[in-house]
Amino acid sequence: MRNLRLFLVILSSLLVWQTPSAAGELRVDVHFSSHETAVIREYFQQSHSKKSHGKKGAKGLPPGIEKNLQRGKALPPGIAKQALPVDLAGRLPPPASGYERIVVSGKILLIEIATQVIHDILTDAIL
């Protein structure tokens, strides 16, 4: 009985001691690399110069929703999102497992698929 109690005390101490370390290891910092940013900007600069200048860009979001498009926040429910153009996606390396790149209101977002949390934003890529 004494050995069991000692074992449980040691086990609980290890669990408490390991928790902060394990939590720190689980934190993943996913963002657009400088290469990805350059490829995305170049793509939209080229596509903008090919388009007629008479077309207007995507309609903006209401200010309250626009304000919530920030790193660390989840995408608002029901927001209109689009996949990256196929030819652009083909020029980029695949995103990290569990993440996707999308277009929302003229911005390129890198989001975690499971939680819809925004990890990075390119605000000035689409002209």
Could you list the pLDDT tens digit for every one of the 127 residues in the chain? 667 666 655 655 555 444 444 444 445 678 999 999 999 999 999 887 666 444 444 567 888 888 888 999 999 888 888 999 999 999 999 999 999 999 998 899 999 999 999 999 998 888 7
Query: Residue 114's domain spans which residues?
Result: 30-122
Q: Could you give the CA distance from residue 46 to residue 3 in angstroms, rounded to a whole number?
A: 72
Q: What is the CATH number of the domain that holds 90?
A: 3.10.450.160
Please tell me the predicted confidence (pLDDT) of residue 34.
94
Let me know if residue 105 belongs to a domain: yes
Please tell me the predicted confidence (pLDDT) of residue 115.
95
The CA distances from residue 42 to 23, 58, 91, 94, in Å, are 38, 19, 11, 18
Let me know if residue 127 belongs to a domain: no
Total number of domains constituting the chain: 1
Phi-psi region of 106 (alpha: psi -120 to 50; beta: other; left: phi over 0): left
Let me know if residue 86 belongs to a domain: yes
Using the Cα atoms of residue 33, residue 34, residue 39 and residue 40 in order, give the sign of their dihedral: positive
The residue whose two tokens read 């400088």 is: 34
Let me know if residue 3 belongs to a domain: no
Let me know if residue 110 belongs to a domain: yes
Let me know if residue 9 belongs to a domain: no
Backbone angles phi and psi of 109, in degrees to 5: -115, 145
Please tell me the predicted confidence (pLDDT) of residue 66.
84
Let me know if residue 38 belongs to a domain: yes
Let me know if residue 75 belongs to a domain: yes
